[in-house]
Amino acid sequence: MSISLDDPKKFKPLVGQAHQVAMNMLRPISRKYDKAEHEYPKELDMLAAMIDGLSESGASEGAGAAGVKRDDKAGDDGSVKNGTNLASVMSIAEMCWGDVGLLLSMPRQGLGNSAIASVADEEQHDRFDGVWASMAITEPGTGSDSANIRTTAVLDGDHYVLNGEKIFVTSGDRSDAVVVWATLDKDLGRAAIKSFVVPKGTPGMTVERLEHKLGIKASDTATIRFEDCRVPAENLLGSPEIDVKQGFAGAMATFDNTRPLVASMAVGCARAALDLTRELLEKAGVEVDYDRPAQVQHAAAAKFLQMEADWEAAYLLMLQAAWMADNRQPNSLEASMAKAKAGRVGSDITLSCVELAGTVGYSEGELLEKWSRDSKILDIFEGTQQIQLLIVARRVLGLTSAELK
């Protein structure tokens, strides 16, 4: 199989619609909800209803976090498939050209929905269809090392009893349910970590507080405590069996799907900064000429060209990781490469654009300073820059996590 570097024609209407939504619905309210932290963006309810209508008609191609899954029928006849993963990263990039925080606040498009799509069996897919799910992984003593999770799940009859605390849960207060990562047996390490769907209102689950953050202020980020929280056994996603040989692979399959999504958020936010900065440079008399060497142009134009090249690399890595998922190819290495490149490039570009635009970039008169704040989290959550590079190194060198720490 070979990947084409041209955007699939069948996704052009979807991408165009997403761009229009970003420009006409998200941008106009972007500053409003940056100022009104934790206030739910009511305008998103209408947008969510539109997306539901597109999904039911089949016109959305599964765009958005809820649509991301591995299609077992993909590529069975040897053909190349452009499916839901590619549609999702392309449409999410456009939405984040509008606003990252608002995209992360979309009903029924939570990262927990990707976890369900990645790990759940068919019965669970049907049962949790339409549920808005956030994802709870990080703990006070466990940041990047997800294998070190201390939240426990103990089987008691036909329920699991959860105990522990989760922090930085995106949409943790607004969502209908939380996908909680917990261990069945601490002594068995990574292999015993499973994910559980815990509906809101379940006794023993308490939203402790909402965090005040540097960026993505439109998105609520919660700390959630679990005390003797009883969850039906059928809410354990995938197989309840502990497969020591498989290790952490079942849980990590979620990241293989969500990391390209986060890369697409960084790509979209960086694209917004580049587009606006180019306009501001042109107004200041600095024209970026793609047909002349950078060294013979204005220093600002030379910097802009370098950022464009970095952006293009991140964009192509993002497409590759999503395309491989659509075509049932193992993409753990490529997902981490895309996330690492896009996360770093997103932060570098948005902050450099603030610098290039000078006082205009630093003031709240434009959204450049906001995009530099929003983009920082995209280099941190779903695995930090450093963790991604560690994963890439392990994959390239053929070493296990125990051999390369």
DSSP string, 52-116: HHHHHHTTTTT-SGGG----TTTTTTS-----HHHHHHHHHHHHHHH-HHHHHT-TT--HHHHHH
Residues 328, 330, 336, 337, CA torsion sign: negative
Dihedral (C-alpha) 31, 34, 40, 41: value to the nearest 10 degrees? 20
pLDDT 10s digits, 59-96: 555 555 555 655 555 455 667 788 889 999 999 999 99
Token match 């952006």: residue? Answer: 311
Do residues 113 and 350 lie in contact, with contact meaning Cβ atoms separated by under 8 Å? Answer: no
Closest of 259, 295, 287 to residue 88, by C-alpha: 259
Domains 131-235 and 249-397 share a fold: no
Most confident residue range from 7-21, 118-132, 192-206: 192-206
Q: Place 378 in a pLDDT band, splitting at 50, 70 and 90.
A: very high
- For residue 102, the model assigns a pLDDT of 97
120: which residues sit within 8 A by CB, 6+ positions away?
128, 237, 238
User: Quick one: pLDDT band at residue 12, thresholds 50, 70, 90?
Assistant: very high
Q: Is the pLDDT of residue 49 over 90?
A: no
Cβ atoms 10, 59 nearer than 8 A: no
Active site residues: 382
The domain locations on the chain are: 9-124, 131-235, 249-397
Q: Tell me if 88 sits within 8 A of 64, measured CB to CB.
A: yes
- Tell me: pLDDT of 199 over 70: yes
pLDDT digits (tens, 9 = 90+) for 135-188: 999 999 887 777 789 999 999 999 999 999 999 999 999 999 999 999 999 888
Q: Is residue 169 within a helix (H) or strand (E), and if so which, with residue range? A: strand 159-170
pLDDT at 110 > cutoff 90 = no
Which pLDDT band holds residue 374 (cuts at 50, 70, 90)? Answer: very high
The pLDDT assigned to 65 comes to 59
Provide the β-strand partners of residue 230: 161
Q: Where in 203-301 does DSSP place strands (E)?
A: 205-210, 221-232
Q: What count of other Cβ atoms lies within 10 Å of the Cβ of residue 362?
A: 14
Domain 9-124: which CATH class?
A: mainly alpha
Residue type present at position 229: C
Question: Which candidate, 216, 7, 261, places its Cα nearest to that of 105?
Answer: 216
**Residue 241, pLDDT score:** 87
248 has pLDDT over 80: no
State the pLDDT at residue 189.
Answer: 79
pLDDT digits (tens, 9 = 90+) for 261-279: 999 999 999 999 999 999 9
Tokens representing 262?
Answer: 């986060």
- Of 32-36, 126-130, 238-242, 244-248, which range is least confident? 244-248
Is the distance from CB of 125 to CB of 117 less than 8 angstroms? yes
At 135 the three-state DSSP class reads strand
Least confident window among 135-144, 199-208, 284-293, 391-400: 135-144
Query: Residues of the chain with pLDDT > 70: what percent?
Result: 91
The predicted structure's pLDDT at residue 247: 52
- Domain 249-397 falls under CATH 1.20.1050.140: no
- Looking at CATH, the fold of the domain delimited by 131-235 is given as Butyryl-CoA Dehydrogenase, subunit A; domain 2 (2.40.110)
What average pLDDT score do residues 18-44 get? 96
Q: What is the pLDDT of residues 302-342, one digit of tens each?
A: 999 999 999 999 999 999 999 999 998 999 999 999 999 99
**What's the whole-number average pLDDT of the chain?**
90
Q: pLDDT band at residue 51, thresholds of 50, 70 and 90? A: confident
Predicted TM-score of the model (pTM)? 0.93
pLDDT confidence of residue 180: 96
For residues 352-379, average pLDDT? 98
